[in-house]
Structure 1
Amino acid sequence: MNEVLVDLLARNAEHAETFQARFGDVQDAQHPEAVTVCCSDSRVLQDHIFGNDEPGHLFTCGNIGNRVVQRTASGEAVSGDVLYPLAHTGTKTAVVVGHTGCGAVTATYDELTEGLSEPPGIEHCLSLLEPHLEPGVEALPDDVGRAGAINRLVEYNVDRQVEFLVASDDVADDVDVVGAVYDFQDVYSDRRGEVHVINVGGETDVATLREQYPEIEGRIRRLWEY
């Protein structure tokens, strides 16, 4: 038997022992307080980054590039996995979480600047990011290095995903949409693993956000105010 699978099942046995008494209130229905949209990067542990160990508390969506955009026959739409809790479970908070050094953003940057050859599935995912990131690539400062460019585009991507949610007729006006970046590379601070808020409802000006939300003033940071 595959040793990785054996280890995963052993870890799951520990999980089941710990969690068996925590499903009583959510076995038949869910009403999560927030939907989080994170990159599926293995270094981004969606529930753990928010200290969540409560079934039913967070509706977690993951994909490369923390995208909320889905391509349909009629054009781009809010991805169904993101929209479901907003439309059907009473969830009123959506948090889009990018992360430092994002591989999907890096690949999109390389595709836009140099061209890449990827398998069709990856190419499709990148094609959902490209039109939204291309203006950001063009606006990058001339004096920023590659790593700095990528991390600025991480913010730019989060901003575009937030913008898409806010503008969508499918997302109710009373849904709070927040954009953030998870940092494990000492880019925003020396506290690896912190989430930094960069966008609330489309507002990206740091001074304005800190004035509006003084209770999280120290967690509001941006690398790039373009």
Structure 2
Amino acid sequence: MEHARPLPAYLVHRFHGWKATSYTENQSWYRHLAQQGQHPRAMVISCCDSRVHVTSIFGADQGEFFIHRNIANLVPPYVSDGAQHGTSAAVEYAVTALKVAHVIVIGHSACGGVKGCLDMCSGHAPELDKQTSFVGRWLDILRPGYERVKDMADADAQMNALEKQAVVISLENLMTFPFVAKAVSEGALTLHGLWHEIGSGALEQYSGNQDAFVPL
């Protein structure tokens, strides 16, 4: 593949630094992971946003989280059509093969994907409405959330509400997967929704009973 090139020097330097420090200090743990396989207790579905660093937020080590990232931390509804579905495949593997005990969906403030959905659904991003837009068709998952917040007058409050709807919609869609619904009904799996405020470091948790996000 002629277009592949060597890593930038700064990444090579960082790799050698990691290998000489963190890896060397924890060689036995890495070898254990390699030999025994992964047994994460939780799957985390988070945004691709580079500012959201889930393992740092929870102080997690290698092997603790099975992490899937996508634009706006969305889970699509269950569809069995023989096509390729990356997020659905990750959920299936986590629940049926790894048998995680928790699936955590975490949204965040200033989410570019959510802003894109807001702009698209309000008619201000025609480029995302095109059928050729991968981002736009992915953000269609969040359209039901937009319908719930579209009449809010305050722009900042609307954006915040839609970011949280991205979490709620994903939790709702998770329950359309038969194997997820079965594991939840049997008490083998619990679903969790979180929203992270990047600037303040705050974390809010979705309460199904209150249908609201509450501070942790």
Structure 1 30/169 Cα, relative in aligned 2: closer, same or farther at 3 Å?
A: same
Identity %: 23
Unpaired runs of 5+ residues, structure 1, are: 186-191, 210-216, 220-226
Query: Over residues 109-135 of structure 1, what are the superposed CA-to-partner deviations in whole Å (9 max), with x where a residue is unaligned?
Result: 1111114315989922332332x4333
Contact 2:47–2:69 (8 Å) recurs in 1: yes
1:224 corresponding residue in structure 2: none
The question of whether the paired residues in 1 share the 8 Å contact of 2:145 and 2:169 is answered with no
Separation of aligned partners in 1, 2:201 and 2:131:
29
RMSD: 3.1
Q: Does 1:154 align with 2:163?
A: yes
Q: Does 1:103 align with 2:112?
A: yes
Matched residue SS, 1:147: helix
Structure 1 residue 25 corresponds to structure 2 residue 32: yes
Q: Is the 8 A contact 1:97 1:180 kept in 2?
A: yes
**Structure 1 residue corresponding to 2:66, chosen from 56, 59, 68:** 59
1:182 maps to 2:185: no
Alpha carbons 2:108, 2:163 under 8 Å: kept: yes
Superposed structure 1 runs of 4+ greater than 4 Å apart: 74-78, 118-122
**CA deviation after TM superposition for structure 1 residue 104, in Å:** 0.6
Three-state SS of the structure 2 residue aligned to 1:139 is: helix
Partner letter of residue 116 of structure 1? P
Q: Is the 8 A contact 1:68 1:79 kept in 2?
A: yes
Partner of 1:138: 147
Distance 1:8 1:76 in 2: 32
Q: How many residues are matched?
A: 199
SS state at 1:69 partner? coil
Aligned mate of 2:14, from 11, 16, 21: 11
TM-score by length of 1: 0.75
SS state of the match for residue 107, structure 1? helix
State the shift of 1:218 in Å: 4.8
Q: Is the alpha carbon distance of 1:12 and 1:121 closer, same or farther for their aligned partners in structure 2, counting shifts above 3 Å? A: farther
Structure with greater proportional helix content: 2
CA distance in 1, matches of 2:126, 2:59: 37
- Aligned residue type for 1:181: W
Task: Give the TM-score, by structure 2 length.
Answer: 0.78
Cα separation, partners in 2 of 1:116 and 1:65, compared to 1, 3 Å: same
